[in-house]
Structure 1
Amino acid sequence: MKIKHLTFTALAVLTVTSCSEKKQDFPFRNPDLPIEERVDDLLSRLTPEEKVGQMMNQTPAIERLDIPPYDWWNEALHGVARAGKATVFPQAIALAATFNDQDVYETFNIISDEARAKYHQYQKDKEYDRYKGLTFWTPNINIFRDPRWGRGMETYGEDPYLTSRMGVAVVKGLQGNDPKYFKTHACAKHYAVHSGPEWNRHEYNAEVTPRDLWTTYLPAFEALVEEANVQEVMCAYNRFEGKPCCSSDKLLVDILRNSWGYDRIILSDCGAIDDFWQKDKNTPRHETHPDAESASTDAVLSGTDLECGGSYHALLKAMQDGKIKESDLDVSLRRLFKARMELGMFDPDDRVPFSKIPYSVVESPEHVAKALDMARQSMVLLKNKNQILPLSKQLKKIAVVGPNAADSTMLWANYNGFPTHTVTILDGIRAKVPNTEVIYTLGCNHTDNFLMKDLGQYITSEKGNGLKSEFFNNTEFKGEPVYSGLAKELHYTTGGNTQFAPNVNLTDFSARFTGEFTAPQSGDIEFTISGNDGFRLFIGDEKVAESWTNEYGSTKNYILKAEEGKKYPIKIEYMQAKGSADLNFSVAVRTPVDYQATANEVKDADVIIFVGGISPRLEGEEMPVDAEGFKKGDRLNIEIPKVQKEMVKTLKATGKPVIYVVCTGSALALNWENENLDAILNAWYGGQEAGTAVADILFGDYNPAGRLPVTFYKSVDQLPDFEDYNMKGRTYRYMTETPLYPFGYGLSYTTFAYKNAKLSSDKINKEENLTVTLDIQNTGKTDGDEVAQLYIKNPNDPKGPLKSLQGFKRTHIAAGETQTISFELTPKAFWSFNDETQTMEVRPGKYEILYGPSSADKDLKSLTLTIE
């Protein structure tokens, strides 16, 4: 036995050594060679078919070269997304509200730590599917020009300078500063002139003036390319000046490649090349090209190296037809393989420093603490009548009402990861005041004028009250169940790397749930089932709902015309293939919202905290939403939904103080609320620690200092048409009307005074830098942060913006103390657009240097500068 064991071990060692030597036989695997030589060697070994396969996001394995498959598609908008357990930070728009690019950099350094730890674990487990790579398609640096755009929450707001600074911080945090290897890739998207509407993005042609293009839509992209060395740029769905962005010579060749010298990867948005040529009666498309071959050829020759989608399969036929040469593909492939080598994908782990990051960093206590810190920093106090906030921790009774109070997934926003624990706003309040009676009632939903009364208690099975569950470690219900039990309710997710049930796979499994529903009343009973991958719902022998969908998930509803006392067999089948699993099921009956009953329930509380606003289930990317005021993820107006407004009015009529905690990813018209409520705190979608952050602010353990990265308009009447991309009348830079809350606005529990502002020189030439220094004194009794903002007003450019942000600094100042801060301005801060030459220039003349706590004229003081 001993001899056989030794012989086997020796053979194993010989086999491993042989494989290792085989890998090193190829020069492209030699980490000591120049990358250009390695790329040349690899390209020389590929067939045309293999080359085409490597130009789409789902690249197949090349087994003869021992190259595993790789999916370029990964997300990290505010934490590693869609790949199970991760720390979930506040949504991007909330990170912008911190006005703290240094802490945003630190946040994304944390995110890239988690990304590397997860990637190396996936590699060890030989898991190569989507969301498990190192190429992250973030940040979204489009300008949030109109609050109706549902994806605006993914951006850093309406200002080009703030967006640039935040975007640079994100890219540097993700890509790292190792001299040889990139930590991960970041991607500047969506290039360019892209910010809604969602419903027509596959056919929309954006037309803007050259001035708006260069002064609003391009600056952030230019900064990420030239300053942050971003490694990927994603071209947008829409057309620009008649050509789809992913084949736009002007955007991709003239500006990006030639003017900015960008020589890295350009990739398409997902399905964007399909929009060139496919005909779809349900989703109108550009239809600028007759077929996939011409569309793919045009995209590649215009510089789009990588397609998210499958149209590039047609490149093989395009080569056969002489439309494109194999050498044209090599141009793109050099960029793609160089990128993978610079990420260390072809090198041994011991050569890549990031491989040593342990998996224990994922959602570590330190990372969760940073999520809390960023949530606190992001929240914006909009109103505080008679300084009702902070609340006393000695209150006897607090009422919490509203659709966002106990909703954990709302706090995750979109493009999110899955934390193992989320603190809801209700949780945070209860934890903050353990000796206070805190009562909670939903009151109303986001938009519906009815509530759903749960009837789950009327479902039984042979296992007891609930559904009998059976789980199989395959997607076809084959063999014996690996687990059987009782599901009292169906709210499952593997998002936090937790199993549906013991012994069940995290992926590639199926589940069957069976039971019987006894109708407690006659009439309409609503069955709702939602989840990703595949699910089926049967009532009796009839299949009443079915879905086969992608990672975004799907929701299906079925109305049963029930008879009281009748029994209805239920069967649910769930088939999960990849990514994080999710399944939810409910049986309920609609009941009208009773505003007065809710008010009566809470009227004896010392204070009422209403937690409302909207939800990432209402605003977002091309969503199937048809609620009043919403369309495909966008909004038709910016009003608070009627049901919430009526609920808040009824609560205010009790005579008790009402504090409104608003959760949103975009600006809301809070006119009545601003006039009548006692306090308003904008909490955004604050991530997994948002509940603690809200409670810290409400009860005075943290002094709020977030600032609005977008203008809060009074109504859409203050806005141009949604589809008009010209900037006239939009954002604080061009708006002449008075908004509800201005860009850069936010209150504090203390007060600050700006003093002793001065310039390094009152007169400079066009090539000189300028330093602005000023003192800020905390004149109140509470320590706090102040966000000083610096704007340039250029009277020499009458067509330009009214003012433009060119500096900001968030500074912590103790009560009674004074801090001196400075802003360093380069000539670029004074740039204006020359309409004749269509270039940026510094014009001689007098300029106003404005400084203060917001963009509102009443908040700003002025210094005068002359540029010769």
Structure 2
Amino acid sequence: MATKLSILLCFFFAFTLTFARNTPSTATADKPTSNVTRKNTHVCDPSRFSDLGLDMKDFAFCDPSLPYEIRVKDLVDRMTLNEKVDQIGDTATGVPRIGLPKYEWWSEALHGVSNVGQWNSVASFFDDVVPGATSFPTPITTTASFNQSLWKKIGQAVSTEARAMHNLGHAGLTFWSPNINVVRDPRWGRALETPGEDPYVVGEYAVNYVRGLQDVEGTENTQDLNSRPLKVAACCKHYAAYDVDNWLGVDRTHFDARVTEQDMKETFLKPFEMCVKDGDVTSVMCSYNKVNGVPTCADPKLLKDIVRGEWNLHGYIVSDCDSIEVMIDDHKWLNDNPEDAVAQALKAGLDLDCGNYYTKYANSSVTMGKVKEAEIDKALKNLYTVLMRLGFFDGSPKFENLGKDDVCSNEHIELATEAAREGIVLLKNFNSTLPLKSNEINTLAVIGPHANATSAMIGNYAGVPCQFTSPIDGFSKYGEVIYEVGCGETICKNESLIYPAVKAAKKADATILVVGLDLSIEAESLDRVDLLLPGFQTQLINQVASESKGPVILVIMSAGGVDIGFARDNPNIQAIIWAGYPGQEGGRAIADVVFGKYNPGGRLPLTWHENGYAEMLPMTSMPLRPVDSLGYPGRTYKFFNGSTVYTFGYGLTYTNFTYNLVSSTKSLHVKLNKFQHCRDLNYIEGSYKPPCPAILIDDLKCDDHTIKVEVEVQNVGNMDGSDVVMVYWTAPSGISEAPIKQLVAFKRIFVAAGGSKKVGFELNACKSLGIVDFRGYNLLPSGGGKMVVGDDLVSIPVQILFER
């Protein structure tokens, strides 16, 4: 997400990570003199009103004894049309005559507090007062931990730093994160920002990270969710079916995603539904693209009917930046003029425009009769209710003591390190080469374009990190490091640097090759055209591996998968590690894994395809299921059945785990009444078709139908370690619409060497065993399905029986 006019600036800023912000504006130039100094008091402070020559008692919106609904109505009713319009852009100008200050809505916190945004209006920034914030691994790496509690804990740490920065006048309270788009195609440039290819995992990540950002301890179960206090306000984006940025001339501001109702409900909407319903997120951002011919930010079905209606959003809907301009200039939507487009968006349910079209044209749109002023009133009520829940008006005593010492704390830096360790995935370990023994290693050749990585480790939508621990910094604690870059840069167009790298490998006791991708290859507005390592990186790896004196460990930094089948099959490369983009402490985490201070347990959140996959179908083909008539394969592990480099969920450890089934539900009996009718399903020709193929899930009492599975996980190796217990469901055989398999539950557990742990799952049949048919119905099918735990370590047949 970035403004259309400033996207190049924003991208450049995120990529280069300039370690100082522009000179602060007058409003933020004052430097606090103590650990906790509020730059601005909350709105309803009597001294503020007194300074403005106003008596706060005259304004009901500052009466804390009144419900938010009444207070917000009082606030909105006091504004003129011109004043209202000035508050529905990302920079709300405020209304001084009634004591309402300005507010900047745009802040980012994808994996730490960020300063990415419009140069003149982003709310979060760094300077001498707050020089940096903890930079956690990018979401794709954190997701690889498959650890829900870690995701929530990171959200809590980020929101603590955000609140501290807000107290110091260095951040807002509304953060447009996380990005929860499913990675449908391995070439998508924004994979680093997302939780991967599985909609259920993406939704679980969204719920836990959002809860970490938003929840105020002790108030999570407030009955009136429109008044539930917030630590900061999160935003799930980009809604919906957004996963093409810029591929072979097709860009996001022109792209029309042609999506079936089946794929929409099953894949593209599922994470957003979980984010709103289970995470109670306070904001959803609509995307640049069209969906089936309609711009998402002007689609009342997507915004008003689904997000606010079916899912009951307690908050506001915001546009991706300059989306209304995109509707006019790029989509040519209905040949609208600005007033028409603004009216369309307001009536569709778009509350806040990241841009200036609302503030420029909403007034004239109302006076021309294209939209009612009441639509603006609704938007303002949604917006200011969120700010009241954040304490913007009344203060937040629970957080007012947070200050500079709470940003970049040792606790948060250690959490960033732990997150990087948990997200690292061991892909190959021939003859148990790893972990290396420090007493046998004196010299290490650390080679590659990422061997001395700093800013590359933190990806995009990053702020200024507290510090960096590069790979050579991390490995220097375990031995003498001989550093050779091997490539001039990640694109690796200069092969002359390979020879010095080979010489270094010949002298060292072990060689660590740190290669991969960066924001020059995969990023916002930049999709990939192949799945290969760039330039001469493959040549560097092979030549170094052929001449290395000691074992060779290949470390890949990337978000999307790369075709490293050559390295997987090369006996001269003993081990392969995927580190994703591991954040500010990435080098420390990688070294700790290589030398066994930490036993890796991460799993791939994406399928790693062979390069030929990218040549089989265009990015613009949206169906998840195979398109046989065009020869297109299926997408993601759920629908692709060809050969891969590494599968979704793959990951090794330094120990061995075995599973034993303790107990399970063998059959599910569903008693039907006369009002529950059988639904038809398409079956593969020749397959058995039950008399009653399926029942509409909306007709079932879902709490009455559960499946239980309990397994005992034993660590039969010699090293303590973590295992991710993954539970897949395979629908009854023969159903043509059904996925090959789908993940329905997972849990990361720690088991000491020689020990065991029982892990139980209780699955709601409606949520876990259902399928979406081609009509868009969510159905529970009958027949014999199968629950699989792990990599087919435990297989449990489950019969779903309908009875009258």
TM-score by length of structure 2 reads: 0.82
Is 1:671 the equivalent of 2:565? yes
- Superposed CA offset, 1:428-477 (max 9, x none): 0002x1xx3211011103454556xxxxxxxxxxxxxxxxxxxxxxxxxx
Is 1:89 the equivalent of 2:136? yes
- CA apart distance, 1:251: 1.3
1:846 is aligned to: 784
Q: Which residue among 387, 390, 400 is the counterpart of 1:355?
A: 400
- Superposed CA offset, 1:705-730 (max 9, x none): 00000001112426532111110211
Q: 1:375 to 1:447 in 2, by over 3 A?
A: closer
Is 1:751 the equivalent of 2:656? yes
Matches within 5 A, 1:28-177: 28-82=61-115, 83-84=125-126, 85-122=132-169, 132-177=171-216
Give the Cα separation in 2 of the matches to 1:607 and 1:18.
70
2:462 is aligned to: 416
Q: Which residue among 465, 481, 501 is the counterpart of 1:598?
A: 501
Give ranges in structure 1 of 5+ residues lacking alignment.
1-12, 279-283, 452-591, 623-632
Q: Residue type of the partner of 2:450? A: N
Give the Cα separation in 2 of the matches to 1:702 and 1:363.
23
2:304 is aligned to: 253
- CA apart distance, 1:16: 7.7
Matches within 5 A, 1:449-488: 449-450=492-493
2:366 is aligned to: 319
Matches within 5 A, 1:258-273: 258-273=309-324
How many percent identity over aligned positions? 35
Is 1:364 the equivalent of 2:409? yes
2:709 is aligned to: 772
Q: Which residue among 711, 719, 729 is the counterpart of 1:792?
A: 729
Matches within 5 A, 1:14-33: 18-19=50-51, 22-33=55-66
Q: Residue type of the partner of 1:91? A: T
- CA apart distance, 1:29: 1.4
Contact in 1 for aligned 2:202/2:271 (Cα 8 Å): yes
- CA apart distance, 1:256: 2.0
Give the Cα separation in 2 of the matches to 1:16 and 1:267.
29
SS at match of 2:70: helix
Contact in 1 for aligned 2:731/2:786 (Cα 8 Å): yes
Contact in 2 for aligned 1:168/1:223 (Cα 8 Å): yes
Q: 1:860 to 1:647 in 2, by over 3 A?
A: farther
1:722 is aligned to: 619
Q: 1:795 to 1:409 in 2, by over 3 A?
A: same
2:35 is aligned to: none
- Superposed CA offset, 1:342-384 (max 9, x none): 111111x3x5422233331111001111111111000000011
Contact in 2 for aligned 1:181/1:352 (Cα 8 Å): no
Q: 1:237 to 1:365 in 2, by over 3 A?
A: same
Give the Cα separation in 2 of the matches to 1:382 and 1:264.
42
SS at match of 2:323: coil
Is 1:427 the equivalent of 2:477? no
Contact in 1 for aligned 2:286/2:296 (Cα 8 Å): yes
- CA apart distance, 1:405: 1.1
SS at match of 1:634: coil
SS at match of 2:603: coil
Q: 1:740 to 1:27 in 2, by over 3 A?
A: same
Give the Cα separation in 2 of the matches to 1:680 and 1:352.
49
Q: Residue type of the partner of 1:710? A: L
Contact in 1 for aligned 2:505/2:548 (Cα 8 Å): no
- CA apart distance, 1:617: 3.5
Contact in 1 for aligned 2:325/2:357 (Cα 8 Å): yes
Give the Cα separation in 2 of the matches to 1:646 and 1:685.
23
Give the Cα separation in 2 of the matches to 1:237 and 1:191.
9
Contact in 2 for aligned 1:849/1:864 (Cα 8 Å): yes
Give ranges in structure 2 of 5+ residues lacking alignment.
1-44, 116-124, 127-131, 223-227, 626-633, 671-699
SS at match of 2:326: helix
Q: Which residue among 207, 211, 235 is the counterpart of 1:187?
A: 235
Larger radius of gyration: 1
Contact in 2 for aligned 1:446/1:614 (Cα 8 Å): no
Q: Which residue among 762, 769, 792 is the counterpart of 1:830?
A: 769
1:736 is aligned to: 641
Contact in 1 for aligned 2:153/2:212 (Cα 8 Å): yes
- CA apart distance, 1:18: 4.0
Is 1:402 the equivalent of 2:299? no
Q: 1:644 to 1:273 in 2, by over 3 A?
A: same
- CA apart distance, 1:757: 4.2
TM-score by length of structure 1 reads: 0.76
Q: 1:253 to 1:690 in 2, by over 3 A?
A: same
Is 1:236 the equivalent of 2:287? yes
Q: Residue type of the partner of 2:368? A: D
1:393 is aligned to: 438
Q: Residue type of the partner of 1:653? A: S
**How many residues are aligned here?**
683
Q: 1:138 to 1:251 in 2, by over 3 A?
A: same
Q: Which residue among 703, 708, 711 is the counterpart of 2:604?
A: 708
Give the Cα separation in 1 of the matches to 2:306 and 2:749.
37
Matches within 5 A, 1:856-867: 861-867=795-801
Contact in 2 for aligned 1:372/1:690 (Cα 8 Å): yes
- CA apart distance, 1:75: 0.5
Is 1:300 the equivalent of 2:346? yes
Contact in 2 for aligned 1:197/1:723 (Cα 8 Å): no
Q: Residue type of the partner of 2:186? A: P
1:437 is aligned to: 480
- CA apart distance, 1:254: 2.9
Contact in 1 for aligned 2:502/2:548 (Cα 8 Å): no
- CA apart distance, 1:424: 0.5
Give the Cα separation in 2 of the matches to 1:92 and 1:602.
33
